[in-house]
Structure 1
Amino acid sequence: MGARIERLVTSGQFTLDGGTWDVDNNVWIVGDDQEVIVIDAAHDADAIAAAVGDRRLTAIVCTHAHNDHIDAAPALADRAGAPVLLHPDDLPLWKQTHPDRAPDAELTDRQTLAVAGAELTVLHTPGHAPGAVCLYTPALGALFSGDTLFAGGPGATGRSYSDFPTIIDSIGRRLLALPGDTVVHTGHGETTTIGAEAPHLQEWIDRGF
């Protein structure tokens, strides 16, 4: 059996700039019956470990370092013996949540991660956060977009470390160039496709979405 995609929804809080909000996060598990990677270890290390089961966890990939996407990463890493991977531009955000525990390795643009015969290419897509990344796997026809692109528009850019023109450039230049039938697995909410979102780029720019 080849690689497949599984979704686990966990609940917790997002905290930044003095505010706190209740959120549901998508935790994506990619792999087969033997090995997996986890994309965004959010809120509940026990629930994620249970979903992984007895499969080998080869990496915990962080699409960015807002606390709701990384709060369970160290506990899951310690439990499974897996490295935590983060783009270095998001270290200032990471340290707000985990000041005494650094990520284990850096993510770099165009780096490839292999799991269960599938390759995921790291795309650096700053804007929502400086070190935000997406993961593209053509073999599965999938993009894991974190909080860069959602069904209906780009991720939020109204808080510190974010920038609207930058996220628009990342989406337009890096993501909307992908095949239209690519399924976008988001950090929150439901999936979409590149083809469904591409026609609306100018609308988002005009609205300052």
Structure 2
Amino acid sequence: MPGARIERVVTSGTFSLDGDTWDVENNVWIVGDDHEVVVIDAAHDARAIRATVGSRVVAAIVSTHAHDDHINAAPKLAEETDARILLHLDDRLLWKHTHPGRDPNGYVSDDQRIEVAGTELRVLHTPGHTPGAVCLYAPALGTVFTGDTLFAGGPGATGRSYSHFPTIIRSIRDRLLVLPATTQVHPGHGESTTIGAEAPYLADWIARGH
């Protein structure tokens, strides 16, 4: 059995894009054991995230995409934990909207493996919500962390800059629906679901995406 476990921290703040701002709650996912963790999407409140991490080593802060509500606490958390911030290169322009004076420490690529506590997180490039959106698939945990690509109830929003509806539908069809039906889906907002629970409802979305 893998030594890693999954923890969730829910943080509150705002999301701003294209001149509009909304109040949001974000899921921050922490994967690891008693010694080291990876933080997925450092949103809003570095203090709350740090409180859950405790004295554990943060091996990396991985951003599923660069909308401000998913990255706004990343630099502070990185400074406090000496962790590297990782992002897909295709979201570098979005990143600079929020953090114009600082670059991520590295860029992830499709099919890259990130290891933590003996468990492998596989990077799946799933553009559509943003150009550099990624999901992180942990086969040993039967879990995929989907950011804002897939939620309980359907795909992420594509009505704003840098997004594209047919592209997100292709990403879900080709990269997520091929995972085992029992795979737990842990999104960036809201409650978790499974690939099997979402697949029947996504047939209509896929048809609309052609």
Deviation of the 1:203 alpha carbon: 1.5
CA contact (8 A) 2:62 2:86 kept: yes
Deviation of the 1:199 alpha carbon: 1.3
Partner SS, residue 96 of structure 2: helix
Partner SS, residue 163 of structure 2: coil
Deviation of the 1:202 alpha carbon: 2.4
For 2:97, give the aligned amino acid: Q
Deviation of the 1:93 alpha carbon: 0.4
Deviation of the 1:204 alpha carbon: 1.7
Measure, in 1, the Cα distance between the counterparts of 2:99 and 2:14.
Answer: 15
1:117-196 map, 5 Å: 117-196=118-197
Measure, in 2, the Cα distance between the counterparts of 1:144 and 1:206.
Answer: 24
The alignment covers a number of residue pairs equal to 208
Measure, in 1, the Cα distance between the counterparts of 2:164 and 2:146.
Answer: 17
Q: TM-score scaled to structure 1, two decimals?
A: 0.98
Measure, in 2, the Cα distance between the counterparts of 1:120 and 1:202.
Answer: 27
Measure, in 1, the Cα distance between the counterparts of 2:199 and 2:112.
Answer: 25
Residue of structure 2 equivalent to 1:2: 3
Partner SS, residue 127 of structure 1: coil
Q: TM-score scaled to structure 2, two decimals?
A: 0.97
Measure, in 2, the Cα distance between the counterparts of 1:32 and 1:202.
Answer: 37
For 2:29, give the aligned amino acid: W
Measure, in 2, the Cα distance between the counterparts of 1:123 and 1:197.
Answer: 18
Matched, 1:77 2:78: yes
1:59-92 CA distances to partner (integer Å, 9 max, x unpaired)?
A: 0000000000000000000110000000000011
Measure, in 2, the Cα distance between the counterparts of 1:166 and 1:70.
Answer: 23
1:37-70 CA distances to partner (integer Å, 9 max, x unpaired)?
A: 0000000011111110000011000000000000
State the identity as a percent.
Answer: 71
User: Which stretches in structure 2 are left out of the alignment for 5+ residues?
Assistant: none
Residue of structure 2 equivalent to 1:111: 112
Measure, in 2, the Cα distance between the counterparts of 1:205 and 1:56.
Answer: 41
Residue of structure 1 equivalent to 2:205: 204
Partner SS, residue 46 of structure 1: helix
Q: Per the alignment, do residues 206 and 110 of structure 1 end up closer, same or farther by CA in structure 2, a change over 3 Å counting?
A: closer
1:169-207 CA distances to partner (integer Å, 9 max, x unpaired)?
A: 000000000000000000000000000111122212456
Partner SS, residue 79 of structure 1: helix
Partner SS, residue 100 of structure 2: coil
Runs (4 or more) in structure 1 with deviation over 6 Å come to none
For 1:189, give the aligned amino acid: G
Cα root mean square deviation, aligned: 1.0
Partner SS, residue 165 of structure 1: helix
1:110-152 CA distances to partner (integer Å, 9 max, x unpaired)?
A: 0000000100000000000000000001100000000000000
Measure, in 2, the Cα distance between the counterparts of 1:99 and 1:61.
Answer: 18
Residue of structure 1 equivalent to 2:95: 94
